[in-house]
Amino acid sequence: MRLNEVKADFQTAEEDEFSQSEKLDTRRPRLTLLHLNKLRKIREIRKLENEERRELFKKIYQRPAPTI
């Protein structure tokens, strides 16, 4: 699953309402367990995507096999 797909899955009306603040709002919004879990999942997916990219780059840029 790509990070873009995960972000699209988490868009709900409640979060849209939560993310919008007015200019006069002085209090910070509350972080709930849902928000923390969402951030954790996004971080894990990014980590997996980076590892996949590294493996691909290792294959692309590896030294050629010595020819005899």
Closest CA to 30 of 43, 38, 19: 19
In a domain? residue 25: yes
Q: What is the pLDDT of residue 57?
A: 95
Cα separation, 25 vs 53, whole angstroms: 41
Burial class (CB in 10 A: 0-12, 13-18, 19+), 35: middle
Over range 59-63, report the average pLDDT: 92
**Global pTM exceeds 0.85:** no
Is residue 19 assigned to a domain? yes
Report how many domains make up the chain.
Answer: 1
Nearest-angstrom CA–CA distance, 17 and 39? 18
Asked whether residue 48 is assigned to any structural domain, the reply reads yes
Q: 42 in helix, strand or coil?
A: helix
The answer to the question of residue 65 being in a domain is: no
pLDDT value of position 23: 74
Residue 53's domain comprises 3-60
Confidence category of residue 6, pLDDT binned at 50, 70, 90: low
Q: Is residue 24 part of a domain?
A: yes
Is 31 domain-assigned? yes
Question: pLDDT of 37-54, one tens digit each?
Answer: 999 999 999 999 999 999
User: For 11-28, what is each residue's pLDDT tens digit?
Assistant: 654 565 556 667 777 777
